[in-house]
Structure 1
Amino acid sequence: MLLTDTHTHLYYERDELKQAQLMQRCFDQKVNRLFLPNVDLASVAMIDELVSRYPENCFAMAGLHPCDVKEDFQQLLDAIYSTIAGRKIVAIGEIGIDLYWDKTTLDLQKDAFHQQIAWAKKLNLPIVIHCREAFDEVFEVLEAERGDQLRGILHCFTGNLDHALQAIDLGFYLGIGGVVTYKKAGLDEVLKHVPLEHLVLETDSPYLAPVPFRGKPNESSYLVHVANKLAEIYALPLEEIAAITTENSRKIFLV
């Protein structure tokens, strides 16, 4: 069995021993592929360090998180883009729009989103989208950018069935994480109408830990609890959930 965590910030753990222990727990649970979204300029080096330690298991993205889009965002975008040359980048992410923390930067966030989608098209890479309380705004941008080159993952999907179908129509897979294990989230009911072929697994570690670890720091080894929930929803063996979602991740990232 091979599980793939398509979205983890495991690199936030800076203690080398603790980081190694986190990775070993992943391997113990058959989580052998981990994709690392970039959030700001400082995290580039953290990601590269983890990839250099585990080149067969960890894969880097490049992008500016919407919560880090401020008045100086153009300078940050230029700096992050300049790091891409000479590195193996499998996606542009995580990028998008977040209106939970700050609605005043919406126009800046849209501008940064469009620019980074242009990077992805130029480099023929998928994008990984962060969308929080901003489905309408995110879809407005994506519809404007619609085309064969536009593809990727709508990370931490928590939307309704209409959102799911629109994302799929635009060429995106849905990133399913710990929220699917929360009783009141309702995501399990949405997924009953979405074929497994449109899903990938993620943890968003160290955030959004699944039941039975809800409220505690998340880690990529907990991905098995997300996979088990999908096995319950789709009435399939865990091994088949792992195989299908890992194959989906290969189609997106081409690794």
Structure 2
Amino acid sequence: MTEVAYFDAAANLTDDMYLGVYNGRKYHDPDISHILERAAGEGIREILVTAGSLEQSRAAINLVSKTRRGQLSQLRSGWPKLYATVGVHPTRCGEFFSGDNISSMAAKSSAEAHLRALRELLLEAAAASKEAASETAPSVVAIGECGLDYARTQFCEPEVQKRGLELQLQLAAECRLPLLLHNRESTADLVEILKRYHKRLCAGGLVHSFDGSPEDALSLLDLGFYIGLNGCSLKTEENLRVVRDYIPLDRLIIETDCPYCEIRPSHASYQFMSAQGEDIARLGWSSGPRFEKKKHRPGFGVRGRNEPCGIVQVCAVISKIKSLPMKEVAAAARSNARSLFLHSETGKASENSLG
């Protein structure tokens, strides 16, 4: 097993692709146990399972519980420790409200009910962790994935997104949990809202899947947030310059956002995949080749479907961009993620503050 250790700070492990379902069609059996086996083999020690709705939040907590209780087949010691988020993605913030007018009494009542359900889920998770004698390893360690997304306003208009974000910032402040933030073409509004809540948000957060400008990075870093990088953060030459020059190692966290955000041949970062005689394209997939979903073979990955083990490629590319040893990048990113999400009082805070 490799000596380099990783923390994948954003993984959508409840996605249907890991159940073998692609665009509503079943191609193969669920293979999450093989995915975690591959992750362990590549040195991934922790994975944050992200959620974007109340339903996904329940599923994420359930997956964490199953791995901790050994209910997945082929469970072995040395697998990554899983943690979960609870929250609502900006494109789904309409689920908070009923009707078209978010200022109506019916909408306010609906929003309070949805927020109450999120709060109750946090309490249930905290109680379950305590019952399992794992208070020092809570199942839920962040609120999110919440934020703003102005690239996909066809799913949810900006005003609804803003109100949904504010509700979740209130929740994060109540339970003293860090944030997992989504941000697409919305930095100015996101920063403005975060500034208004800044004094109440004592636990900080991560702006994940960052692909913004130098100005975007600096404004978020000035607020004390960490910056999350994955394959989609490394698409363009400008992205590479921002990572190199504006995101310091002590504020950088790496992630996969799997099953999405894999480094692809069309990305500027792909130039490093075979740089200086190194075959970075094979890193993270030492267990064997990947196959098309139609020809899936148990124990092997699926071509085009990202997994936590893909974090090794992200780390390798960042090490090239910053001219730093890969082990140093991995160690700093993991230390940052553990400091943010696994603070010793996190689990107790969520239970005591909401109880």
Please report the TM-score for the alignment, with normalisation by the length of structure 1. Answer: 0.92
1:213-246 Cα shifts (integer Å, max 9, x gaps): 9792221110100000111112222111111100
Q: Residue 59 in 1 paired to residue 83 in 2?
A: yes
Runs of 4+ in 1 over 6 A off after TM superposition: none
Match of 1:101 in 2: 152
Match of 2:294 in 1: none
Per-residue deviation, 1:153: 0.4
Q: Residue 49 in 1 paired to residue 62 in 2?
A: yes
Q: Residue 4 in 1 paired to residue 3 in 2?
A: no
Counterpart selection for 1:85 from 123, 128, 131: 123
- For 1:76 and 1:99, the matched residues in 2 are separated by 23
User: Which secondary structure state, in structure 2, belongs to the residue aligned with residue 69 of structure 1?
Assistant: helix
- For 1:170 and 1:112, the matched residues in 2 are separated by 21
User: Which secondary structure state, in structure 1, belongs to the residue aligned with residue 166 of structure 2?
Assistant: helix
Name the stretch that deviates more: 18-27 or 39-48: 39-48
Identity of aligned residues (%): 27
Listed as ranges, the matches of 1:124-135 within 5 Å are 124-135=176-187
Letter in 1 for 2:11: T
Letter in 2 for 1:109: Q
Q: Residue 163 in 1 paired to residue 187 in 2?
A: no
Letter in 1 for 2:259: P
* Contact kept in structure 2, 1:8 and 1:204, CA below 8 Å: yes
Letter in 2 for 1:92: I
Larger Rg: 2
Counterpart selection for 1:30 from 43, 60, 80: 43
- For 1:246 and 1:151, the matched residues in 2 are separated by 16
Letter in 1 for 2:49: L
User: Which secondary structure state, in structure 1, belongs to the residue aligned with residue 141 of structure 2?
Assistant: strand
Per-residue deviation, 1:254: 2.1
* Contact kept in structure 1, 2:13 and 2:50, CA below 8 Å: no
- For 1:120 and 1:2, the matched residues in 2 are separated by 29
- For 2:61 and 2:19, the matched residues in 1 are separated by 13
Match of 2:19 in 1: 14
- For 1:181 and 1:191, the matched residues in 2 are separated by 8
User: Which secondary structure state, in structure 1, belongs to the residue aligned with residue 114 of structure 2?
Assistant: helix
- For 1:254 and 1:153, the matched residues in 2 are separated by 13
* Contact kept in structure 2, 1:98 and 1:132, CA below 8 Å: yes
- For 1:109 and 1:4, the matched residues in 2 are separated by 29
Letter in 2 for 1:31: I
Gaps of 5+ in 1: none
Counterpart selection for 1:173 from 226, 240, 248: 226
Match of 1:195 in 2: 248
* Contact kept in structure 2, 1:231 and 1:237, CA below 8 Å: yes
Match of 1:68 in 2: 92
1:70-109 Cα shifts (integer Å, max 9, x gaps): 1336143332222110313201010011122226621121
RMSD of aligned C-alpha atoms?
A: 2.1
- For 2:58 and 2:196, the matched residues in 1 are separated by 33
Per-residue deviation, 1:150: 5.5
* Contact kept in structure 1, 2:53 and 2:87, CA below 8 Å: yes
Match of 1:242 in 2: 330
Per-residue deviation, 1:135: 1.2
- For 1:203 and 1:213, the matched residues in 2 are separated by 17
Match of 1:253 in 2: 341
User: Which secondary structure state, in structure 2, belongs to the residue aligned with residue 93 of structure 1?
Assistant: strand
1:42-74 Cα shifts (integer Å, max 9, x gaps): 212321222123336100111111111113361
* Contact kept in structure 2, 1:39 and 1:94, CA below 8 Å: yes
Match of 1:232 in 2: 320
* Contact kept in structure 2, 1:153 and 1:173, CA below 8 Å: yes
Per-residue deviation, 1:118: 1.3
